Amino acid sequence: MPYDPVYHEESPTRDEVDQMRGPVLLEFGANWCGICQGFAPHLAELLREFPDVKHIRVADGKGKPLGRSFRVKLWPTLIFLRDGQVVEQIARPEAEQARAGLQAITTA
């Protein structure tokens, strides 16, 4: 699944996330977040290398239930899942950390 350039206000529920099959990358952040914007080109490039990963960008903020269920506090936060299970969670990642997370969920 290609890189999604927009953080979406609409997001799946935690139950829906827990039921997702295969490799999934949940990315929490905000469209106005400078750190998120700076990391975006790196993630877009990485996701081209991992076309089987479903990428879901979630607009996070105070009181957002999905982000709170994963205890998201900093943006961007990447949550790497395989068959609904968290494999790794990284806040404010470096590109190589993101690559390692993507590798972890695609080679399981």
pLDDT score for 31: 96
**pLDDT for residue 68:** 96
In 10 A of CB 1, how many CB atoms? 15
Question: How buried is 36 (Cβ within 10 angstroms: 0-12 exposed, 13-18 middle, 19+ buried)?
Answer: buried
Q: 95-106 and 34-49 helices cross at what angle (nearest 10)? A: 40
CA–CA distance, 3 with 48 (Å, rounded to integer): 8
Residue 85 — φ and ψ, nearest 5°?
A: -105, 135
The series of mean pLDDT values per 10 residues for the chain, 108 residues long, is 88 97 98 97 96 96 94 97 98 97 92
Using CA of residue 11, residue 14, residue 19, residue 24, what is the dihedral sign? positive
Domains belonging to the chain, first-starting first, are: 14-106 (3.40.30.10)
Would you say 14 and 55 are in contact if contact means Cβ atoms under 8 Å apart? no
Q: Give residue 1's pLDDT.
A: 62
Q: What is the pTM of this model?
A: 0.95
21 vs 38, 54, 104, CA distance in Å?
29, 10, 15
